[in-house]
Structure 1
Amino acid sequence: MRKSILIVEDSTIVSMHLKQVLLKANYEVLNILTSGEDAIEFIKDHDPSLVIMDVMIEGKYDGIETSIEINKIKDVPVIYLTALNDKKTIDRAKLTFPTTFLSKPFAESELLSNVELSLYKHEADLQKKESQKLLSTILGNIKSCLIVIDSNFNIKYANEFMTQLLGIEHDEILKLKIGNDLKVLDQNEEPLSITKLNDQLKNELINQDILFLIFNDKKLPINNITLTNAKFYNEETEQFLVVFNDARESYDKLLKEKAEKSLKLAAQIEGAEKERVRVSRELHDGLGQMLNVIKMNIKTLIDNPDAKSKLIELINASIEESHKISENLMPSKLQIFDLKTSLENICEEYNSLSLHVQFSNNLEEGDLDDKKINLFRIVQEALNNIYKHAQAKNVSIQLYRREKGIHLTIEDDGIGFDANQINSKDNLNKSHGLLNMIDRVKSMEGEIDIDSNAKFGTNIIIHIKN
């Protein structure tokens, strides 16, 4: 298809020369106009492929002003013709983004090569704009948050979902920098760099996990993260395309489910503790008293001294055992003393020639009273397991209140066990105590990590947020 060209030139000699050269080169000359006003009106009804414009035409508009008005109507490439080479005129013309300048007089080959290059460049620019428009449409309709960042972690592009998530205008997002204005935190709320995030997405497949964006002191949950190298802009530096979902609704649901589960577990544990109290009281007040009555009656009813002594010995052992069971079910010290004192007492009870128990803490009187039973039971269960199974010589228990929560560690130098087998059916009875510990931690919305092996013993780390 022949390319059409509009000539705007008030010199008849120059315009006719232009027309002759262009026709000879198989271009179509739509018209030759001598004023800017006529050129503007002509453009409204016609679509030339190119305009050759004299800079210094007569009339209301000069060539530069005419080009400005034309480009308000249509995107048409312009070649300027000028007999002037002063810097002021050239600087004015540059503001209209002409494809090139031709100085009068010009050679035919110079004219045709500039026309051909101008048409090619404009066609390439149109294709690029269409591609960018198509890409922007595609990216804008993706139902996820999407950003493109450069190698310096400046945001180069953000779609509408991203602006909605942050609650700011698109232009403001393009001023942000990942790591400075917009931070990414992992599940432990530790900062993640783009490089580290990229490594984790490749190696640990965490893209389904919930991470956090921190912006203007707001913590925004995100998930379903993908990160790939991108080349959307003509830059030599590396770029990244980051796509993720707004996980606020999912995170709120997760927190709600977790809270409900913790409440249910706490209620079950509380019910079990109440039952412990009831059974303990029945043992002490019921069975214990009955055994004492039986012992008193034996002293009066049985005449054989040996038989009487043997029966009394058995009953005394039964009374002592019932007291032990009652004490284990609900230690009297736990009802009387605070957590710090109760833990110091139980550690002292397990301290012996064969087992050295060290307890360190920063608790004050009355601290953690709302978590006293659970924390005491966890330590009690751990010490009982160590005493019965670990063959340990040393135990270290540390309980500290810190800014981010409560930190409890229980370490021993025993023979250890396979922590992976805790939930297996074969070890269900053996690990019942550990499962109780885990449930108690979960009921307080805490986290527990158990590391055990034959060489280093067992290390239990518990963290409970304030």
Structure 2
Amino acid sequence: MTNTPINIVIVEDEAIVAKDLRNRLQKFGYTVPAIAHSGQEAINKSLEICPDLVLMDIRLKGEMDGIEAAQEIHKHLDIPIIYLTAYADDQTLERAKITEPFGYLLKPFKERELQINIEIALTKYKLEKQLKTNEKWLSTLLNSISDGVISSDLEKLITFMNPVAESLTAWKQEEAFGRNLSEVFNIAHGETQEPAEIEITKVLQDGDIISSLVESVLISKDGVEIPIDESAAPIRDDQDRIIGMVLVFRDVTERQEAIKVRQKQVEQEQLVAQLSEINRLKNEFLNLFSHELRSPLSNMKVIIQMLQLSLISPENQRYLDMLADECDREMRLINDLLDLQRLETEGSLLINPDVLVLEQFIPWVVSPFQVRAQEHQQTLQLNLPSNLPTLLSDPTSLERILGELLNNACKYTPTGGMIIVNVEHNSGEIAPKTVITIRNSVEIPTAELPQIFNKFYRLPNADIRNQGGTGLGLSIVQKLVEQLQGIIQVESSAGWTTFRVILSDLVIP
């Protein structure tokens, strides 16, 4: 007898038999909320009450018998039904079996027999309901996980595939069902591309659990190759006998890409570290190199100056002047190398911001080059508007910038050519800017412009009357302009080359 009251609907067209059944059931502790005398009434009462069990007589008066009524009830309710009948012919039994009854009692039956059948039916129904719930939960789980899942029986024939497995293999479950596992799950070694069928025999015969230790590639039905990780395990029954196997696999494309990206990052970090060390060694070398060269060059310069003051022949004096010029050129090269090194590695030279009165500062910088231009029969024109505002900048850096640009203009402008220096102030912008342009009457080929700021770059076939310089001037100019938070531009056309330096007041951090 159960602890919780059980509602049972009786379907019996004989009133006396129905009343007797109700008395017996109530004696067992069951509740009988209704008695139906026909098939249609059995359906209506069952839908209204939703009982825990139905005792159904097969032979009922009317057009519908108990088996037909049971079929209709099962369309709407999942409840156990026990047939009661005085007939045990094969045809009736076969019809009853189709409805999957939970019991079949032949009249007349004993009370104990009735009670046992009811208790067994209720227990069986409870277990089956729990099993269906578990199966539904398992099905939902397998269909929801991000891994592909395939199961097979002992003959390696496929019995199940989840949607992920269908997507990766390009096989639908209904197509793959009953096919050999190796036909659907076609894998190869990732490196050698040789067939690499998983060791299914060990799983099915020895019960081994296998995890892939090498990179595998799944070849789908469409011929698409997908890198995967896979594992296999046996499926066992209640007696621990192997009845099949389950295969779990996943697409590892994203993981492999992430590993490649990380490896590339590590390589880049190692390269940066190596470059940093090389740069450090380079700086140490340059510092040592400059010190070792500066000292003898300075001594040579002093000796040359002393010799120049002595009474020597004009021919020897000419050689001394040439030697002095070479010393100066080497010293400029060393100084330029060190300046560019500091600009590239440390990001800046020493900055001392000051308020510059441009109406005085620009002519002071340009003045020496006007003398030089006259010596080479060139025209240097300075266009300086009145009432220029002051500029907060580093005078040493700005002098170096303008000096290098004017030096190049004088060197490359042909005899009789022209150099124009313009200074403008754009006050209408959100951030007012001072624009200094230096134009000279020589044209640089368009193909050469992208290289103009490169270290040691010189224009091919240039006619340079004076010393060629170090080839570092424009590189230093570009770095210094950036240090002053400005912009430098160059353009060349129609026989003119223009360098444009755009500066704002220096922002001090």
Q: What TM-score, normalized by structure 2, do the two folds share?
A: 0.45
